[in-house]
Amino acid sequence: MRSRQARIPSTLFVLTMTCAAAVPACAADGSFLFVSNRDGHMQIYAMQEDGSGERSLTSSAGGNNQPAWSPDGKRIAFTSTRDGNPEIYVMNVDGSGQTRLTDHSHFDAHPSWSPDGRQIAFVSARDGRVNVYVMNPDGGNLGAVTRMDEEKGIGAPIWSRDGQRLFFTASVDGKNQIFSVKVDGSELKDLTSGQSKLAKGEPALSPDGEWLAYTVQERGPVNIHAMRTDGSQTKRLTDNTAENYSPHWSPDGRRITFVSSRDDMVRSEVYVMNADGSDPKNLSRHPRDDFEPRWLADGNSVLFVSLRDRHAQLYLAHLDGDAPKRLTRSQAFELEPTPCCLARKPALAVTGVVPDTRQAHR
């Protein structure tokens, strides 16, 4: 089975796609962000949800990616290599005021805003090993949250809804597991090694902050599971011999979108299922690869990247079954769709994770 990152040029995946990001905030004008190499470097762009109003926010030499909305939708943190190695920057939503926050010879990447907007978590190799750090949005008060003694391959941090803890992946005996830690560095917990020694990844936090969806790399297949944020009540949401990955919760917590190769065990398709794993449906329905699904704020539409036009382009699919709509039209690669999905509070607590029945092709 092909590597999930082998479907587009690997040079476009520098420090991307390590784990699922926390659900971002919402800009006042309903924009979403994406990155594109259409000018020869990876740049950050914004676009309206209907495909109009496309504009470039960065234009520097070097790559710019991993955009992250601030909770108030007014600022964007991102990673840039414009100064020679990956560093964390912040800019206004219109691309103005681009300011470098970190300055170190080792990489800093994967910025993630705290729910109150007062801190930014990120990963850095500045101590010779990859660890999780936090800083103020102006770059001040920077400090380590984790102090791993070995090279752990730490993934992008995700904030708990109350801003008290961070979730991330790190290697244990060569296999990634999911950890949580308090922001002050105390109470580091391995949430998943006790389940099995299989690799876990791509943690995605539910809108009510109670559940984590994540992937489990089995001996061949990859399936999606869910657990409470303390590591309890683990449930299997997909159960097949394909690759199922990139889980993301809908804004109301009722559904999860994900990518699966179940149709022919080769190509990737964008699916949606109920939060308990039932009723999986193919949204993208195309013989070429579709991936990186992200919900829009209405909870009825999903952005995704498709190779159906031989370049990675952005499409929009609706749950009503209409044919996906193409949003970008370039000869480049458009990646990392980053909508601002929390325009509304979740309509309900996520209580439907426990499956009542098993489905043969789930």
- Which among 340, 318, 316, 317 has a CA at the least distance from the CA of 328? 316
Q: What is the largest CA-CA distance in the chain?
A: 53
Write the CB contacts of 143 (distance below 8 Å, at least 6 apart in sequence).
133, 134, 135
Residue 330 inside a domain? The answer is yes
pLDDT at 322: 87
Bridge partners (DSSP) of residue 131 are: 124
Residue 327 inside a domain? The answer is yes
Identify the CATH number of the domain in which residue 317 sits.
Answer: 2.120.10.30
pLDDT at 326: 96
Residue 30 inside a domain? The answer is yes
Residue 90 inside a domain? The answer is yes
- Which among 352, 252, 247 has a CA at the least distance from the CA of 297? 252
**Section 22-36 average pLDDT:** 69
Residue 353 inside a domain? The answer is no
- 143-147, 212-216, 285-289, 347-351 — which is least confidently predicted? 347-351
The answer on pLDDT for 173 being more than 80 is yes
The answer on pLDDT for 4 being more than 70 is no
Residue 348 inside a domain? The answer is no
Structure tokens at 222: 């990859």
- Specify the number of domains making up the chain: 1
**Section 174-188 average pLDDT:** 96
57 close to 95: Cβ distance less than 8 angstroms: yes
pLDDT per residue as tens digits for the range 77-117: 999 999 999 999 999 999 999 999 999 999 999 999 999 99
pLDDT per residue as tens digits for the range 64-85: 999 999 999 999 999 999 999 9
Mean pLDDT over the full length of the chain: 87
Domain that holds residue 65: 4-338
Residue 136 inside a domain? The answer is yes
Residue 358 inside a domain? The answer is no
- Model's pTM, two decimal places? 0.89
Cα-to-chain-centroid distance, residue 18: 8
